[in-house]
């Protein structure tokens, strides 16, 4: 009964809930201003998901890499914008070359500041493109469940590899509330099944049932 009841969550809360829904038990990261809302949500769910604090973002990617090799499950990384994001590139490249499933969540400046050379703004999608299977730039909180399902699917199917999800600060803003339901999760699962991975590159392909 509870599963069919619509639930109100902020963007940051939905990110954490989506990770839990994907079976994530550990996340490796280093906090920063652009992802503090996610860290607040992680603290609320600390009984379900453990955060491993590192001393450098590159270490987070290598730890996630080792976790994936040991468990067979995607390693998950959480870092802030700017240098926090760019510090992950070496570890992402390692995972790409060795076909290791990894999902990297990077913070970014609000959507309205992207392209304006804002403080710690970074085109993480562009920077990471040569060494990932796919990169996402989240622009709406409503897209979080669908995008994260796609990210984990792409990272772990076909030839495994890293996927980057770049998250502007306004997308995770606690004041943004939206409905999630079992119907929406089912729709996301259907979309994920239609999201095919070919030769290490993700492509969308619509099929009729």
pLDDT tens digit sequence for 163-175: 999 999 999 886 6
On whether residue 182 sits in a domain, the answer given is yes
Q: Which is nearest to 30 in space by CA: 42, 22, 18?
A: 42
Distance of alpha carbon 96 from its chain centroid, rounded? 16
* Whole-prediction pTM: 0.83
CATH of the domain at 150: 3.40.50.970
| 155 within a domain of the structure (yes/no) | yes
Q: Does 68 reside within a domain?
A: yes
pLDDT interval class at 152 (50, 70, 90)? very high
Q: How confident is the model at residue 209 (pLDDT cuts 50, 70, 90)?
A: very low
* Domain of residue 63, residue span: 2-204
CA separation for the pair 86, 79 (Å, rounded): 9
- 8-44 as b/e: b if 16+ CB within 10 A: ebbbbbbbbbbbeebebeebbbbbbebbebbbebbee
Quickly count: other Cβ atoms within 10 Å of residue 47's Cβ. Answer: 6
pLDDT digits (tens, 9 = 90+) for 81-110: 999 999 999 999 999 999 999 999 999 988
Mean pLDDT, rounded, of the chain: 84
198 pLDDT band, cuts 50/70/90, is very low
Give pLDDT, residue 182: 41
Count the domains in the chain: 1
Q: Is residue 145 part of a domain?
A: yes
What span, in angstroms and rounded, lies between the C-alpha atoms of 61 and 208?
38
Contact criterion met (CB below 8 Å) for 22 and 165: no
Residue 209 inside a domain? The answer is: no
């Amino acid at each position: 009964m509870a599963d069919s009841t619509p639930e109100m969550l902020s963007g940051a809360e939905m990110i954490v809930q989506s990770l839990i829904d994907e079976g994530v038990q550990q996340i490796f990261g280093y906090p920063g201003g652009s992802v503090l809302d996610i860290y607040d949500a992680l603290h609320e769910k600390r009984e379900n998901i453990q955060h491993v604090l590192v001393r450098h973002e590159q270490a987070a990617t290598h730890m996630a890499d080792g976790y994936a090799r040991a468990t067979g499950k995607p390693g998950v990384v959480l870092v802030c914008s700017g240098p926090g994001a760019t510090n992950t590139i070496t570890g992402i490249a390692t995972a790409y070359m060795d076909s290791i499933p990894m999902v990297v969540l990077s913070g970014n400046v609000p959507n309205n500041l992207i392209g304006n050379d804002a403080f710690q703004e970074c085109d993480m999608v562009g920077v990471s493109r040569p060494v990932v299977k796919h990169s996402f730039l989240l622009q709406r909180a409503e897209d979080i469940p669908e995008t994260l399902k796609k990210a984990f699917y792409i990272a772990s199917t076909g030839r495994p590899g890293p996927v980057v999800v770049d998250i502007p600060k306004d997308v995770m803003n606690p004041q943004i509330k939206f409905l999630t339901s079992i119907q929406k999760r089912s729709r996301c699962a259907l979309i994920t099944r239609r999201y095919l991975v070919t030769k290490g590159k993700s492509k969308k392909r619509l099929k009729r049932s």
